[in-house]
Structure 1
Amino acid sequence: MRTTLSFYVYILSVLVIAGCASSNKSMKQLPEAQVRPSEQQSAPINEELSLIAIQSKYLLKDTTQTKVYLYVDAFKGKNPISVAEFTKIYNLNYVIYSDYGTRDRLGYGNVKLDSSNVSRVGDKIVIAYDIKSPNKDYGVLLSEISQTGTLKKVLNDLTIKFKKLSVSQTYGLYTATSAQPLQRHYVNANEAFTLRKVGEGSDQLHVFYYNHDFEAAGSPMNVAPKTISKSLEVDSSFTINTNEPLHFDKEGLYNVFADTTQSEGLGILVVNERFPKVTRPQLLLGPLLYMSTNNEINEIKKAEDYKKALDKYWLTLMNGNAPLAQQSIRSFYSRVEEANQLFTTYKEGWKTDKGMIYIVLGPPDKVQRSKDREVWTYDQRGNAQNVNFTFNRRNNQFVDDHYELVRYAEYQPIWYPVVEAWRNGSIR
């Protein structure tokens, strides 16, 4: 799974910022982890150094200082590299631009990597470093990790709102086993965690709980005007203290505020203990919405035994070919798991617009990003070439990275052949 999961966190880092090198190669070739033949090192393949992907986030200390976190998948062969080896081999430089596509630099510098700012969380290397915030509302931070003595480097871009001291920009979510904040929006039920600022001090925060099952993404061809969203009813509310151990046992969405007059909070989705994997029979049904008819979904819902109904569904699609059905199931739900890891916001990743496109079509071949938009390009899908899907960032009361797909009826000849490929077992 390492290859596919790296698509999103890498592809967002490889953007055209004026004056900076970038790439638009297919993620299937892992451009971040590969080099041109002329740059290949003579080390045995099982010892090859590679940076697969970088994720990033930031927390504001105040309007003058920002703490940046880079979550790096770094390997030596198939094994995660140690912190000591990483700090010897790699260098970090950064530039702050005023926006995408400009040469207007607001700041730059290099960061000496050592045990004081590099640690390991699970299989990831985490780099934490401080930057001086420019006197601007907004900027784009470009971090570059390069390998000493080679031309290999990995870029990551991060948009920062330097003056927006809201709860999601100032409070980090930490597990009991990590000194660094989580990059994701979810925790598992009963997983111990704390909320705290980068600086010192303890605060009381307000929490609103929503026991709500959010809808899955609609068809990319559905251009009908959206109905007005109903307001969500708060199921319960309570207060918590920062820097104190917490756990939420009820699954659902928790929105955290420092001040109840604020309109945007820090959304934390509490999910079952197996998430991002999907294993419960009742939960396996949901993602099938993207490749099934309404009648097929309704038949499974009516069944007394979900597992038997799901087995029958897949076997029927594969004309009774059990090995092909098993392989198709693994492929499909691997995509679902990856979508949950990559795109979960206030709802599970598979339910988001990005998750839907990712599950059905796979990783895009190119991504272009600007301040409030992402464009995914597929070189060849269905009966078309150079297919673009545009996602616009929308204001959201729970998260600040909510994107919605621009839908077109013209996607039909692209979408249905790929769905049919899933239904006949052609996609592995």
Structure 2
Amino acid sequence: MKTTFRIYLSLLSALFVMGCSSSNKTMKKIPEAEVRMSNPETISAPEELSLVAIQSKYLIKDTTQTRVFLYVDALKGKSSISVSDFVRLYNLNYVIYSDYGTRERLGYGNVKLDSSNVTKLGDKIVIGFDIKSPNKETGVLLSEISQTGTLKKVLNDLTIRFKKQSASELYGIYTDASAEPLQKHYINVATPFTVKRLTQEPGKLHVFYYGHSFEPAGSPMNTAPKSGVSKSLTIDSTFTINTNEKIQFTKEGLYNIFADTTQSEGLGLLVVNERFPKLTKPELLLEPLVYMSTNTEISEIKKTEEFKKSLDKYWLTLMNGNAPLAQQSIRSFYNRVEEANQLFTSYKEGWKTDKGMIFIVLGPPDKVQRSKDREVWTYDQRANAQNVNFTFNRRTNQFVDDHYELVRYAEYQPIWYPIVEAWRNGTIR
């Protein structure tokens, strides 16, 4: 039997390099003299087009017009598609309904895609187009992006509050990377940005800064009623900024932006570290483990001065010393955390939200049903149960307009604990 020379294994090191390495390998060029007649079996298939997902937001332009933004993950093969290819290969149609589940149409149209309304933000295609605002408080915009000459299409639904005039409906956050506003609720620290209306009118905005760190989501089985005393947040500082002027926030934390301080809801912007949505610092890597660990395990890690060694020991202990399995589990778990941060960050990091918690432990749902103020996630099978539903209700929130809370049930226990145990023994799939 071989002696183990290294007791301490740097299992978490992969997390520090994953974001820096590239999956593209350098291919050796074939000299022309060596080219022969191609074997039909070796001819590579054309790169397949695919639309992975669409996210959306809107800004109120005036009493008659609303501008809609679609943020599209579009691929050609394994690479993000170019703007020129996108406008050539895809079409966009929309319908405005009065509500979910109704046939009453408030408007519809086709959007001609070209370089004037299609841009790129990172790897995402961004489409911006105007719709005529109906004389209604709210409506549901159903957008359909279809591939020319095929039956392939992807839908997106967006609830629009046409009469609302809070900062989040009127103002967008713009960076140098795109002419269109950010869809996400966060920005990396010290990134220059501008807050402005579609009309470009100048003005002063009021900013409340909170250095408070919000708690992660509680157990889905915790049905205990919340305390009747609401937890008040301490405002650490207030200041004003000008619209249309480039600024940057150099302190991490939550910033709530108001055009009028008499309003109850603002435009929340979470300023995060430069590596977010990835987690790389050991002390940050510890936090999401609350969803699969005991309080004693978390406390033991916190007691140590060397978080990284303690985290490695934690994962190795769970996997009975199997280092490759521990590395695989680490990668799977923190990939889920990163995705949750990308998808669900609101006034707090995405992994801390109710949706983020369910996503990390159970993965993406097999089906999502939406209504104006509710989402139901369905998992076809988890543990020994079939058709497991998790219901999220939209709640009024002073920072963001898409805050959802999970409806908790004690009956989730026989579903939840086996999945957590699968994370702890490395059998999660």
Shorter-chain TM-score above 0.5: yes
Instruction: Please tell me whether residue 419 in structure 1 is matched to residue 404 in structure 2.
Output: no
Moved over 2 A (4+): 43-46
Aligned partners of 1:174 and 1:180 also within 8 Å: yes
- CA offset at residue 63 of structure 1? 2.0
Helix, strand or coil: the match of 2:113?
Answer: coil
Aligned partners of 2:200 and 2:244 also within 8 Å: no
What are structure 1's unaligned runs of at least 5 residues?
1-42
Q: Structure 1: how far apart are the matches of 2:44 and 2:352?
A: 42
TM-score (norm 2): 0.89
- CA offset at residue 46 of structure 1? 4.9
Identity of aligned residues (%): 79
Question: What is the 5 A alignment of 1:131-210?
Answer: 131-210=131-210
In structure 2, what residue type is equivalent to 1:241? N
Q: Structure 2: how far apart are the matches of 1:117 and 1:278?
A: 34
**Which residue of structure 1 lines up, in the alignment, with residue 80 of structure 2?**
80
**Which residue of structure 2 lines up, in the alignment, with residue 407 of structure 1?**
408
**Which residue of structure 1 lines up, in the alignment, with residue 391 of structure 2?**
390
Q: Structure 2: how far apart are the matches of 1:395 and 1:418?
A: 31
Provide closer, same or farther for how the CA distance between residues 335 and 45 of structure 1 changes in structure 2, counting only shifts above 3 A.
Answer: farther
Aligned partners of 1:139 and 1:162 also within 8 Å: yes
Question: What's the CA shift string for 1:117-170, capped at 9, x where partnerless?
Answer: 111111111111000000000000011111111111111111000010110001
Q: Structure 1: how far apart are the matches of 2:321 and 2:200?
A: 62
Aligned partners of 1:391 and 1:406 also within 8 Å: yes
Aligned partners of 2:391 and 2:407 also within 8 Å: yes
Instruction: Please tell me whether residue 347 in structure 1 is matched to residue 332 in structure 2.
Output: no
Helix, strand or coil: the match of 1:47?
Answer: coil
Aligned partners of 2:211 and 2:236 also within 8 Å: yes
**Which residue of structure 1 lines up, in the alignment, with residue 7 of structure 2?**
none
**Which residue of structure 1 lines up, in the alignment, with residue 54 of structure 2?**
54
Aligned partners of 2:122 and 2:177 also within 8 Å: no
What's the RMSD between the two structures over aligned residues?
1.1
Question: What is the 5 A alignment of 1:20-59?
Answer: 45-59=45-59
Question: What's the CA shift string for 1:208-227, capped at 9, x where partnerless?
Answer: 00010100000000000112
Provide closer, same or farther for how the CA distance between residues 45 and 155 of structure 1 changes in structure 2, counting only shifts above 3 A.
Answer: farther
Equivalent residue pairs, number: 386
Q: Structure 1: how far apart are the matches of 2:78 and 2:316?
A: 35
Aligned partners of 1:63 and 1:165 also within 8 Å: no
**Which residue of structure 1 lines up, in the alignment, with residue 288 of structure 2?**
287
Which is worse superposed, 310-319 or 82-91? 82-91
Q: Structure 1: how far apart are the matches of 2:411 and 2:150?
A: 45
Q: Structure 2: how far apart are the matches of 1:370 and 1:46?
A: 39
Q: Structure 2: how far apart are the matches of 1:162 and 1:44?
A: 49
Q: Structure 2: how far apart are the matches of 1:45 and 1:236?
A: 58
Which is worse superposed, 72-81 or 91-100? 72-81
In structure 1, what residue type is equivalent to 2:336? R
Aligned partners of 2:166 and 2:266 also within 8 Å: yes
Q: Structure 1: how far apart are the matches of 2:66 and 2:311?
A: 49
In structure 2, what residue type is equivalent to 1:216? P
Instruction: Please tell me whether residue 232 in structure 1 is matched to residue 264 in structure 2.
Output: no
Question: What is the 5 A alignment of 1:323-338?
Answer: 323-338=324-339
Name which one, 1 or 2, has greater alpha-carbon Rg: 2
- CA offset at residue 45 of structure 1? 4.7
Aligned partners of 1:187 and 1:268 also within 8 Å: yes
Which is worse superposed, 94-103 or 222-231? 222-231
Aligned partners of 1:205 and 1:257 also within 8 Å: yes
Aligned partners of 2:190 and 2:248 also within 8 Å: yes
**Which residue of structure 2 lines up, in the alignment, with residue 247 of structure 1?**
248
**Which residue of structure 2 lines up, in the alignment, with residue 256 of structure 1?**
257
